[in-house]
Homo-oligomer: A and B are copies of this chain.
Amino acid sequence: VSRGALYVVGIGPGSASDMTQRAREAVEKADTVVGYTTYIKLVEGMLSGKDVVSTGMMKEAERCEQAVRLAGEGRIVALVSSGDSGIYGMAGLVLEIMQEKYPDLVPFGFEVIPGVPAVCSSAASLGAPLMHDFAVISLSDLLTPWELIVRRLEAAASADFVIALYNPRSKGRPGYLEQARDIIIKYRPGSTPVGIVKDSTREGERVIVSTLGEMPVEEVDMTTMVIVGNSQSRRFMDYVLTPRGYKGKRI
């Protein structure tokens, strides 16, 4: 068996033009591409002649296990996911599986290839809402106790971080985004700018600029990013702008 390889590839937020060349080359080098159906569709122009393991039903852990197994059998595997695979992505899960299966020596090449995360592409569509210190928090309590998520929201809000919310709302978790807003608004005025980006860089991308007090919660779903400004953030035209500094200095 020849030595396999496993590339964990962040293909960027969605559009082909926001993929990096390194990500593209990894998919091209691979003989086997593994990914969730939605992500496979984003690279479908690059799949000719390759084995594709694409499933919508299989669980993430099984998909990562399969990618590790195939690389162990000598395949050149690209495990693709959207955004950056190191932010709520599959890089960590793959490493967990590798550590269990090969605690001493991993018998194949391994590379994590970074991509443009959704938080950056959403921020770009909004202008410049991040700019300064920021916190990234997922509102999904599937893997994290809600109490810890609340603690993080309190901490980030109290220390004036710009706050980016991943997985802000799903049918199974009604009311979480409202709870997050209610926590943040204890520390910031209702006029604080909020940017909402749905399907960033994908067909039908939708950008809404609102405020913390009047956030249109019903417009938000799981493929949406919500970015809440800090105390210095302001609106300009259709943009949200967070200045870099607190001193009015420019250097």
Contact = CB atoms under 8 A, between A and B. Distances in A.
A170 interface: no
A12 B20 contact: yes
Contacts of A95: 127-128, 236, 239, 241
A67 interface: no
Contacts of A94: 128
A154 interface: yes
A192 interface: no
Interface in A65-111: 84-89, 91-96, 98-99, 106
Interface string A225-236: 000000000001
A35 interface: no
B239 A84 contact: no
A91 B237 CA distance: 15
Given A18-B22, A143-B247, A243-B96, A91 B124 contact: yes
Contacts of A84: 116, 120, 123-124
Contact of A19 (B21, B98, B143): B21
Tell me whether chain A's interface is mostly helix, strand or loop, or mixed: mixed
Interface stretch (A48-56, A155-163, A214-222): A155-163
Contacts of A10: 120, 124
Given A143-B246, A151-B159, A159-B156, A131 B241 contact: no
A249 interface: yes
A145 interface: yes
Name, among A133, A158, A241, the residue most crowded by chain B CB atoms within 10 Å (CB to CB).
A133
A60 interface: yes
A19 B17 contact: no
Interface of A: 10, 12-13, 15-22, 25, 59-61, 84-89, 91-96, 98-99, 106, 112-117, 120-121, 123-125, 127-138, 142-145, 148-149, 151-152, 154-156, 158-161, 236-237, 239, 241-247, 249-251
